[in-house]
C-alpha cells in the first residue's frame, strides 16, 4: 500500500439491497435499466454540426458501452458505414438525413431501454421479433411478464412483455 490510505466510510456500503445503481445502470432483481443520468447523456450527446470520424467513433463507442447489442441494430447502419472510411480520411459527409437518423437513434434507444431490460429467464415464454432490410437484419427477444392468455401475444398489453438480454 503506497501513497495515501483511504478509509471506507460505513455510509458508502449498501449491503443486502434488492436494488442498486452501478456504472450507469439501476440494477434490480428482475430487470435493469439505465439511470436517468445515462439516458440524459444519450439525449444530450454533443455531436458537432460537422462531425469528424473521431466524433462518430465516440458516439458509436458510447452506444456500445451502453448496450453492445445496440451497435448491431439496423438503426446504427448509417454510422457503421461512416466508420468504414479510411483512417486517414478525418472528415465525413453529414447532412440533414444523418442528423435526423442521429436524433432517431437517440430517441429509440431511450424509449427501448427506459422501461428496463429483463434478465433472460429460461422458464418464461419467449418471442423473437425479426425485421430486415437491404442494410441488414435485426431482432429483439421479448419475454412475458404478464399473465395474459391471448393470441395477440406479445402485444396483449402495454407492459406485459419486455426486452430480455
Residue 108, Cβ density class (10 Å: 0-12 exposed, 13-18 middle, ≥19 buried): middle
Q: In the chain, helix, strand, coil percent, each to 5?
A: 35, 20, 45
What pLDDT digit, counting tens, does each position of 69-84 carry? 677 777 888 888 888 8
Of 32-41, 44-53, 74-83, give the range with the top mean pLDDT.
44-53
Question: 125-134 pLDDT, tens per residue?
Answer: 888 888 777 7
Residues in the chain: 165
**What is the phi/psi pair of residue 73, to 5°?**
-70, 150
Binned at pLDDT 50, 70 and 90, residue 1 comes out as very low
Q: Exposed e or buried b for every residue in 49-71, given b needs 16+ CB within 10 A? A: eebebebbeebbeebeebbeebb
Q: How far apart are CA 105 and CA 71, in angstroms?
A: 10
pTM of the model: 0.63
Amino acid at each position: 500500500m503506497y501513497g495515501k490510505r483511504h478509509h471506507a466510510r460505513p455510509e458508502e456500503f449498501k449491503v443486502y439491497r434488492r436494488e442498486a445503481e452501478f456504472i450507469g445502470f439501476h440494477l434490480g432483481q428482475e430487470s435493469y435499466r439505465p439511470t436517468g443520468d445515462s439516458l440524459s447523456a444519450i439525449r444530450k450527446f454533443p455531436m458537432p454540426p460537422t462531425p469528424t470520424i473521431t466524433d462518430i467513433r465516440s458516439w458509436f463507442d458510447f452506444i456500445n458501452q451502453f448496450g453492445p447489442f445496440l451497435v448491431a441494430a439496423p438503426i446504427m447502419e448509417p454510422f457503421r458505414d461512416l466508420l468504414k472510411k479510411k483512417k486517414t480520411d478525418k472528415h465525413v459527409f453529414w447532412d440533414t438525413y444523418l442528423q435526423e437518423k442521429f436524433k432517431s437513434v437517440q430517441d429509440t434507444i431511450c424509449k427501448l431501454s427506459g422501461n428496463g431490460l429483463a434478465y433472460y429467464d429460461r422458464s418464461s415464454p419467449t418471442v423473437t421479433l425479426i425485421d430486415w432490410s437491404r442494410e441488414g437484419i435485426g431482432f429483439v427477444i421479448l419475454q412475458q411478464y404478464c399473465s395474459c392468455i391471448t393470441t395477440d401475444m406479445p402485444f396483449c398489453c402495454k407492459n406485459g412483455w419486455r426486452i430480455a438480454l
